[in-house]
A and B are shown apart, each in its own frame.
Chain A
Amino acid sequence: MMHSRTVQIWVGLFVVAGMAALLMLSMKVSNISAFTESEGFKVTGYFENIGGLKVRSPVTMAGVVVGRVASIGFDRESYEAVVTLNIQSEYDNIPEDSSASIFTAGLLGEQYIALEAGGAEDALKEGSELQLTQSAIVLEQIIGQFLVSQADKE
């Protein structure tokens, strides 16, 4: 067929451009770390109120992302939320008695779990349970408490 060489070169360029675009989308636009994240260990924690926490919300320690929320469930006995955290396996020296708090990034931002290191010898491992947890701060409750305390003063 005529011009088949030109056609093939163009198609080659097209495929390369398409692949490059896909590569850019996965490397530059999204977090490629999603690949490594599945390798890690799971710990659970009970929270009275998780507020707006979602699956895949970040888990941070000193502001550095060390893992993500793997699943959120509800405990029928204690009426508390059960949150499973997936911690990346490289962070294998987090003390067992570390505390977990649900914070909000900025006033309107998303919610995340912040871990604060305790003093225990043993580190968190697969299946550990976080003993010290602090629930999400629900804005309406704070405003409500503030109003009540103002009323009491008068």
Chain B
Amino acid sequence: MTNSDMKTESPHEAAGEPLVRIRDLVYHRGERTIFDGINIDIERGKLTAIMGPSGTGKTTLLRLIGGQLRPDTGTVHVDDQPVSELGYGPLYELRKRMGMLFQNGALLTDLNVFDNVAFPLREHTQLNETMVRDLVLMKLHSVGLRGARDLMPSELSGGMARRVALARAIALDPMMIMYDEPFTGQDPISMGVLVSLLRTLTDALGLTSVVVSHDVQESLSIADYVYVISAGKVVEHGTPDDLRQSKSDWVQQFIQGKSDGPVPFHFPATDYAADLFGGNN
């Protein structure tokens, strides 16, 4: 595993302040080190993908950005506000401008599709019901589910549930949306729908999007910039084309999905032959 291109300065220089700035982030869960000093910048209006094998704490990273978890050391700034130091009130104010799409949608099961999308509007605004109705229908239309407004979450397929959750996430017109594994477990058609939705929403609404995923090809096809995380470090970052040409064996194995390489096929174990003939132990 190479950490040779870890840099402490800003990973890439671009015009304007990045929306999310993560510096020297360290996070432990129990004895395990999840992040060991990572630096990530997420540009405004761009679609940034964060990739890595399962269990590298990609979801944890989103929760750190959203302020649901606090880092052990290091800082997370969103729109120049130090998320990890904000109090209850300012943090909730900041979250009104962030959307998050959970892996399985996380729709509120006792509300139908319409009420789910209306939920943040009713909680945070004083709009009258006609306004709420119009806004909800607009958001549902943009994800192509205006006709499904009366269904309950249990009646939706996984892909539809994610699209409803997406409509809910953009209900308050946030500045950024974080997607947690949006492509996992989708059939090719809903996958295609989601991929194009992500791209069009980012472009049409000028949203900043953060996609956490291990679906390499889909992520590379839509991302503007990519970070690859493994074992608590940023292993590689750059545009999708940079990554495809990466010299790191590890990145090549990850991108092409080879079964053996720097990451061995076998879980560390004692000698095979010795194990077989070794009796009960």
Contacts and interface: CB of A to CB of B under 8 A. Distances in A.
Interface of A: 1-2
A86 to B, nearest CB: 55
B142 interface: no
A1 B89 CA distance: 29
Contacts of A2: 112
A7 to B, nearest CB: 12
A1 B115 CA distance: 8
A4 to B, nearest CB: 11
3 contacts: A1-B111, A1-B115, A2-B112
A3 to B, nearest CB: 11
Nearest to A2: B112
A2 B110 CA distance: 10
The 3 closest A-B pairs by CB, nearest first: A1-B115, A2-B112, A1-B111
Nearest to A1: B115
Nearest to B112: A2
A7 B94 CA distance: 36
Contacts of B115: 1
Contacts, number: 3
B117 to A, nearest CB: 14
A2 B113 CA distance: 12
A49 B129 CA distance: 77
Contacts of B112: 2
Interface string B134-174: 00000000000000000000000000000000000000000
A66 B134 CA distance: 72
A2 B111 CA distance: 9
B107 to A, nearest CB: 15
A2 B152 CA distance: 11
A60 to B, nearest CB: 61
Contacts of B111: 1
A85 B115 CA distance: 66
Nearest to B115: A1
A120 B111 CA distance: 80
Contacts of A1: 111, 115
A2 B112 CA distance: 9
B1 to A, nearest CB: 53
Interface in B216-275: none
Interface string B103-140: 00000000110010000000000000000000000000
A1 B129 CA distance: 12
A1 B114 CA distance: 10
A2 to B, nearest CB: 7
B149 to A, nearest CB: 13
A1 B111 CA distance: 8
A1 B152 CA distance: 12
B111 to A, nearest CB: 8
A2 B115 CA distance: 10
A2 B149 CA distance: 13
A129 B112 CA distance: 76
A15 B173 CA distance: 42
A116 B90 CA distance: 78
A47 B132 CA distance: 79
Nearest to B110: A1
Nearest to B152: A2
A1 B112 CA distance: 9
A113 to B, nearest CB: 62
A3 B65 CA distance: 39
Nearest to B150: A2
